Amino acid sequence: MQAMCERDTLYTLQGNVQVDDAYLSGERVSGKAGRGSENKVPFVAAVSLNTKGHPCTSK
């Protein structure tokens, strides 16, 4: 995780940026379902797109 964090500091999002949020979880037999579940972890992902709508891969 530290290596991924250090690599991410080399890049700056710019231009057309798309952001999405999601919830990550595993299966649980009991407990609350949906967004209020204590078994889910929210996270956000963002990506810069070039003029053709493809993810940017250079610094």
How many domains are there within the chain? 1
Quick check: is 20 in a domain? yes
Strands 16-25 and 40-49: antiparallel
- Identify the domain containing residue 8 by its residue range: 2-27+34-49
pLDDT in tens, 2-24: 998 898 888 888 889 999 998 88
Inside any domain, residue 38:
yes
Identify whether 56 is part of a domain.
Answer: no
CA-CA-CA-CA torsion sign (8, 9, 15, 21): positive
With respect to residue 58, please indicate whether it lies within any of the assigned structural domains.
Answer: no
For residue 27, pLDDT beyond 80: no
pLDDT for the residue 19: 94
Give me the DSSP letters along 10-56.
T----SEEEEEEEEEE---SSS--STT-TTEEEEEEEEEE-TTSPBP
